[in-house]
Homo-oligomer: A and B are copies of this chain.
């Protein structure tokens, strides 16, 4: 079903392959207009003091912002990063480079927009609310699966809701896919983030908004996820490269289709409890056998092979108010429910059912 007509924007450029990161300076130089041009590096603070910090093609006039990624991206921090950039140098930077996982890349995407759009980033949560094109943004994933590197959404939690800033300007202008940057990701995080991708594929292919383009992307992406997480004999660098491709394809699939039940519930969970998106998705998906029986089966196989334990009892200690807030956050994600069940989605899911599912988590 073609829900609403939209011509979807693609990320501007892809640099792909081992060693691509070594060319980051060329990509930045290409965007410099004069000697005063400067860049911002927003980078996961995991890399502080690590080799990657030394490899940043940074000059003295550039700003490095270390991103603390324990929590999901929030609108107040986007505002703060924006202020930091403007205070550092009131002329616009020519490039913002986001180096990290989904959280860091979404911060880079959102901050790049807020430098050229006045006010509070929370006011822009939603579709097509941004007025002005942002700063040229280069995204460089260091863990793969979220699809943030190719998506036109910067997912943010605000004071009122968890909802992305989504518009043509949110898409990264350039993406550097270098599998060598993934080499130090711990097994658990690799699994959780990879499952975000796998779940995108399940939700998009089984949804009502799917078409042949979304299917092709998702099917190939899932095939790669299964290779990565079931064939544990593949050399790490090879499976990291495959996971980068899986994430790209999974992200593209969601562009032409939509996520579903798992993401709707997971947004509720994360918004109230701050659970990391990948972990939240796995915790939720683990309870969704009735909605996604085939996907669930493969998910359990991969989880078993990777020997990853899922957190339990997350919701048990919640107040009634927190629980209701989770339900309301999930319920409000109409486009996800619509994709999962069709226009009559309210006949297929109720707030009671959502609460019942959440209480198992």
Contact = CB atoms under 8 A, between A and B. Distances in A.
Contact of A245 (B23, B174, B216, B249): B216
A212 to B, nearest CB: 5
Contacts of A6: 15
Contacts of A16: 8, 211, 213, 256
Nearest to A224: B216
A213 B245 contact: yes
Contacts of A213: 14, 16-17, 177, 244-245, 248
A211 B12 CA distance: 20
Contact of A18 (B2, B8, B10): B2
Contacts of A212: 238, 241-242, 244-245
Interface string A240-255: 0110110011000000
A203 interface: no
A182 to B, nearest CB: 12
Given A212-B244, A213-B248, A245-B216, A15 B8 contact: yes
Q: Which of A7, A23, A27, A216 has the most CB of B within 10 A?
A: A7
B5 A14 contact: no
A19 B2 contact: yes
Interface in A210-227: 211-213, 216, 219-220, 224
Given A212-B245, A213-B177, A10 B11 contact: yes
A-side interface size class: 35 or more
A132 interface: no
A9 interface: yes
A13 B6 CA distance: 9
Interface of A: 2, 5-20, 23, 26-27, 174, 176-177, 211-213, 216, 219-220, 224, 238, 241-242, 244-245, 248-249, 256
Nearest 9 CB-CB pairings of A with B: A7-B15, A10-B10, A220-B220, A7-B13, A2-B17, A212-B241, A216-B245, A212-B245, A16-B213
8 contacts: A2-B17, A2-B19, A5-B23, A6-B15, A7-B23, A7-B174, A8-B16, A213-B245
